[in-house]
Amino acid sequence: MSAGGNGPLLACHDLHAYYGESYILHGVSLEIRPGEIYALLGRNGAGKTTTLRAIARTQQPELRRGEILLHGEPVQQLKAYEVARRGISLVPEDRRIIPGLTVEENLRLAQVEGEPGWTLGRIYERFPRLAERRRQQGITLSGGEQQMLAIARALARQLTLLLLDEPYEGLAPRIVKEIEELLQEIKGTGLTVLVVEQNAVAALRIADRCGILDDGQMVFTGVPAEVLASEEIRREYLAI
């Protein structure tokens, strides 16, 4: 697998992030190229989700030092909605399906502000189960269907970088396989994906490149084959 582009789509330099006085990210740096799938791996508590939230500029964590560049332009001073308008979308681990809204209302709400992305027709063509359940309350879907809805909702807006936090969490292997196929498909449209995943083996299957965090520091960057070939890396940082 290869990715195009001359420079990085996203570059994070020396990120230092805190939750209150808890020091979580200790100088994290990474670069993601246009059109690639990048897997950010590590044990629980390593700082993976914090990195995603820092990039998406959510209210927490507090980024006290560091630079985040999107297409070479700094975005670390922007608000979350401003970053979203520039094409970065975070699908959090809990999916954040809005209670009281149907599947279709969740999708339409995503298109209220900003540039539209995939049309409802295109979404329903790619996600036929969402089409079947379009009038059903989103929070009553199965876990796998909620994950599909969360990803589809991100695609409903103009998107450059998709951030996925534990997309396989709690899902059956069959659904994991479906999401893997979906990510490969949307990568083929030119979309760039940064995925955080505890299931390192599954994440490495689809990744072009990967990084490993340990205790808030980047301890490895490279390609999946290097991780799979190193028993030391797998044992020390991934427990696989």
**pLDDT mean over 147-172:** 95
Report which secondary-structure segment, H or E, holds 153: helix 143-155
The one-letter code for the residue type at 156 is A
What local confidence, expressed as pLDDT, does residue 3 receive? 44
Report which secondary-structure segment, H or E, holds 27: strand 22-32
What local confidence, expressed as pLDDT, does residue 126 receive? 95
Question: Is pLDDT of 5 > 70?
Answer: no
Write down the residue that tokens 């190193």 correspond to: 230
What are the chain's domains? 34-46+81-238 (3.40.50.300)
Tokens representing 61 are: 């964590």
What local confidence, expressed as pLDDT, does residue 111 receive? 87
Q: Are the C-beta atoms of residues 194 and 40 closer than 8 Å to each other?
A: yes
- Separation between Cα atoms, residue 163 and residue 37, nearest integer Å: 10
What local confidence, expressed as pLDDT, does residue 116 receive? 86
Size (the chain), residues: 240
Binning pLDDT at 50, 70 and 90, where does residue 4 land? very low
Q: Where are the alpha helices (DSSP H) in 44-198?
A: 48-56, 80-85, 103-110, 120-126, 128-132, 143-155, 173-187
What local confidence, expressed as pLDDT, does residue 78 receive? 96
- Separation between Cα atoms, residue 143 and residue 150, nearest integer Å: 11
Q: Are the C-beta atoms of residues 1 and 173 closer than 8 Å to each other?
A: no
pLDDT in tens, 13-72: 999 999 999 999 999 999 999 999 999 999 999 999 999 999 999 989 999 999 999 999
